[in-house]
Structure 1
Amino acid sequence: MSKYLLKLSLVAAATAMATGQAHSAAFQLAEQNATGIGRAYAGEGAIGDNASVLGRNPAAMTLFDRPALSVGATYINPAVDVEGKPTQRQAAGAALTGSPTSSQDIADDAVVPFFYYVQPVNEQWAVGFGAFTNYGLSTTYQDNHYAGSVAGKTSLKTLNLNPNIAFKANPHLSLGAGINAVYADAELIRHAGIASLQVNRQTAGQPFATSLAPGSEFVRLTGDDWGYGWNIGLLFEADEHNRWALAYRSKIDLTLEGQYSSALPQLPNNQSLAPGLPVGTSGISQPGKLDLSLPAMAELSGFHQVQPDWALHYGMLWTEWSTFKELRALDPQGGTYFDKPEGFENSWRMSAGATHQLNDQLTLRGGIAYDKSPVPESARSISIPDVNRTWYTLGATYAVNENLNMDASFAFLDGKKVDVQENDFTFKSGGDAYLFGVQMNYAF
């Protein structure tokens, strides 16, 4: 098969997975629980109001004196639009083929579930287990989009299985550690756009080949892998009303192995689509793999019970995106198809929130956060261009009885529109997102 074609498709896959806007920096997800949404995830590692805290800081499991369970899900509803700014030639090609140049709601809706369980062993030791996700994205464009070679469908899903252990060293200090087993599954589909029409006419010197009509699928890449890492945390309690937490989660290296397929047209008169491509290429299918790293992160959290019915929280999350230096794709024999440099920078997220105990049954929350993108202007992609965003959140807990309570939360993420230059295409892209979370917490 042509290494040029596999390189083209894998670069598109790598770019999409590396720069897709999720709901935190780049393709990072913050939605490890629903309770925290209500306070914009401020103070997450230090509060410990239910078992979901182990997803942010394992040391906080020592706050529990009986077994605790938390399960729930977050519904993510992005509203991201991409407006094409075609050149005169691109506009003529789009008009000729009936290809749309703009797309609405390209980021797909998603439901992100989670599960946590904490088991105190004695007054000093506790163990726990969490199943959640830290990374993911899903975007879909029209099959006949005029920039089909950089649009199409892109999906990255991950699951983190995270057993943890915690030790209370003294009345003020607790330590925790865990192991992370992360499963990742990716899919890329690309369709022919107007660029394919131009290539045919320039190189074949004849009318556009119907087998590569705009909208026809010509690239599909799928792959999955398991990766492993670790996490640690500490909790410092000045007293029962003031505590701080520091947690760290390591980088996870993945090699997504799967299948690459391509369906290119047969051209008459023994002609090639472009220099270096085989004559009459069609029906390619063979294994391919792509290296991908999920970056390390560190989080500082604070919690202060300032009044019997009021608490304040704050936090800062740092993600080491600068280690995301390249995306390297290999053929089955270990040869390099491409080695694509990345320009990512370390990012941070700052949050502040408050909790008000209205009465014995109802607790109210509110929060605000600022999330800085790690993607510089030169590295933006329409799948999806990452932007700085501000979170505005509300949440509540209703205590059914002394053992059972229910959480509900809402967040509005305000994302600005930015210009994107990708290959020969120019776009204006961006938008907002809405999060709705529900969670059940039970203390045995």
Structure 2
Amino acid sequence: MKLKSLLLVGGALLTGPAASAGGYQVTLAGQKNNGMGGVGVGLSLDQAAMFYNPGALAMVRDRGVQLGVNGTLARNSFVAEGSSTQRELRNSVVTPFNLYVGFGPEEGKFRAGIAVYTPFGSKLQYADGWEGRTSLTDIDLKSIYVQPTFSYAITDQLSVGAGLMILAYGAVNLQRDIALPDSYGHIELDGKAKNKLGYNAGVFFKPSEKLSVGVSYRSKIDAQVEDGDVTFTNIPDSFKPRFEATKFSATLPLPATTSIGIGVMPNEKLTIGFDVNFVEWSAYRALTFEFDRQINGQTTSTSKRDYEDALTFRLGGQYRLTDGLTVRAGGAYDDSPVRDGFVTPETPDANRVSLTAGASYAFGKFGVDASVQYVKIDKRTQTQQDLLNNGTTDRIAGTYKTNIVIPGIGLNYNF
């Protein structure tokens, strides 16, 4: 039994199948944006600009607080190569959230704020006894970013901003079965990520009342788990000397993203946005685990990833029907960074199309935002020959299908 196949499950470190973006990226940072296909880089909608483009925050006239939460309801299935049996994942719901507080002088040139959001988080529970049980059975992961942000309007048309991204909390629990001659054992990896720093910066330019343009950059952060716990169960006494590890460490790149956005306002009621995101997934070449003791004679495990850089295209708009009611719609196309023959059970990714809708109702200083997304991920098949050709036989051949529905709700208060 090779060590790299034993610990393929580790590829889900702070990841899992992303709810609304390729690879293991999640972009559910603002309820208004969620209803508009995820656009926001070239717009100054509300305090969620801290995530999409800190440069636009200075152009948000209202000071306020907003809190939002989403539920990701995924339907995943798998059919192994040479089989007709479809394996369904056990149902699980993940609830990424966001909190923004924006403040500053009412007529001043600057805005500051604090953002708290969950850019990575998922839960997968494959069917009992499924064909890939020795690659993965369960994932449960959580992450929380905190981002203090400052934005300044250089002129009435041009503003800049930046935020310090802090990986404040990250936790991961990964489980899989171990094939033994006459039975299956079980391994569980459980660890917390170190606090790490990155940054988010942007520029926003509004040459006229009908046009705005934005550029933003979110830096790469290397998520590191050190001193994580390794636990083995159902291992017969005769095999226990081969499974001695009690601790593990690993590093996963959370890639940099460059975004360009355009906003068009044909009239005071209609707003249209278009974004392009470029994600530097090529930073993810391999995943290496180090253990304090040997597992089957080895203390290091490396699994190939070889991700490719990828683009996402987003288009959306909103229309103010009345002084209180605004409706939204949009869509997105996301190019998967996962190459053929490199698909893993923890990230059964493929190119995806998203359709979104949303609405807001404001009454006085209070408001309610609602959104819903439907994400269709292309069917993804890899054969055993693909795995042999790429040297990725530490994963399973077959076909994955995934569809996701993501409802969301948010509350906001302007002061």
- Provide TM-score, normalisation by structure 1: 0.83
What whole-Å deviation, never above 9, does each CA across 1:186-240 have from its counterpart, x for those lacking one? 1111124xxx3xx51xxxxxxx2xxx34xxx511111111221111111111023
Q: What value does the CA root-mean-square deviation take over the aligned residues?
A: 2.5
Give, as a single letter, the amino acid of the residue that structure 1 aligns with 2:170. A
**Secondary structure of 1:115's aligned partner:** strand
Determine if the alignment matches structure 1 residue 266 to structure 2 residue 236.
Answer: yes
TM-aligned CA deviation for residue 362 of structure 1? 1.0
Give, as a single letter, the amino acid of the residue that structure 1 aligns with 2:408. G
Determine if the alignment matches structure 1 residue 224 to structure 2 residue 220.
Answer: no
Question: What does residue 390 of structure 2 align with?
Answer: none
TM-aligned CA deviation for residue 285 of structure 1? 5.1
TM-aligned CA deviation for residue 329 of structure 1? 1.4
For residues 302 and 45 of structure 1, the distance between their equivalents in structure 2, rounded to whole angstroms, comes to: 7
Report 1:185-224 matches (<5 A): 185-192=171-178, 196=179, 200=181, 208=182, 212-213=183-184, 217-224=185-192
Query: Which runs of 5 or more residues in structure 1 are unaligned?
Result: 92-100, 201-207, 271-278
Report 1:14-413 matches (<5 A): 14=11, 20-42=17-39, 44-86=40-82, 102-105=86-89, 108-121=92-105, 123-182=108-167, 183-192=169-178, 196=179, 200=181, 208=182, 212-213=183-184, 217-225=185-193, 226-257=195-226, 258-263=228-233, 265-266=235-236, 281=241, 284=244, 286-332=246-292, 337-401=300-364, 403-413=365-375
Report the CA distance shift for 1:336/1:175 in structure 2 as closer, same or farther (over 3 A). Answer: farther
* Structure ID, larger Rg: 1
Conserved 8 A contact 1:369-1:392: yes
Report the CA distance shift for 1:61/1:143 in structure 2 as closer, same or farther (over 3 A). Answer: same
For residues 50 and 284 of structure 2, the distance between their equivalents in structure 1, rounded to whole angstroms, comes to: 26
TM-aligned CA deviation for residue 66 of structure 1? 4.2
Identify the range of structure 1 (421-430 vs 157-166) with the bigger mean alpha-carbon deviation. 421-430
Higher helix content, 1 or 2: 1
TM-aligned CA deviation for residue 331 of structure 1? 2.7
Question: What does residue 399 of structure 2 align with?
Answer: 428
Identity of aligned residues (%): 21
Report the CA distance shift for 1:162/1:400 in structure 2 as closer, same or farther (over 3 A). Answer: same
TM-aligned CA deviation for residue 336 of structure 1? 6.1
* Alignment coverage as a number of residue pairs: 399
Give, as a single letter, the amino acid of the residue that structure 1 aligns with 2:143. T
Conserved 8 A contact 2:53-2:216: yes
Question: What does residue 11 of structure 1 align with?
Answer: 8
Report the CA distance shift for 1:20/1:76 in structure 2 as closer, same or farther (over 3 A). Answer: closer
TM-aligned CA deviation for residue 390 of structure 1? 0.8
**Secondary structure of 2:76's aligned partner:** strand
What whole-Å deviation, never above 9, does each CA across 1:169-196 have from its counterpart, x for those lacking one? 122211101111112211111124xxx3
What whole-Å deviation, never above 9, does each CA across 1:406-439 have from its counterpart, x for those lacking one? 1111111122211134637422111211111111
Conserved 8 A contact 2:14-2:170: no
**Secondary structure of 2:27's aligned partner:** coil
Question: What does residue 97 of structure 1 align with?
Answer: none
Conserved 8 A contact 1:80-1:431: yes
Conserved 8 A contact 1:50-1:441: no
- Provide TM-score, normalisation by structure 2: 0.89
Give, as a single letter, the amino acid of the residue that structure 1 aligns with 2:47. A
**Secondary structure of 2:48's aligned partner:** helix
Give, as a single letter, the amino acid of the residue that structure 2 aligns with 1:223. G
Query: Which runs of 5 or more residues in structure 2 are unaligned?
Result: 388-392
For residues 43 and 262 of structure 2, the distance between their equivalents in structure 1, rounded to whole angstroms, comes to: 8
Conserved 8 A contact 1:33-1:73: no
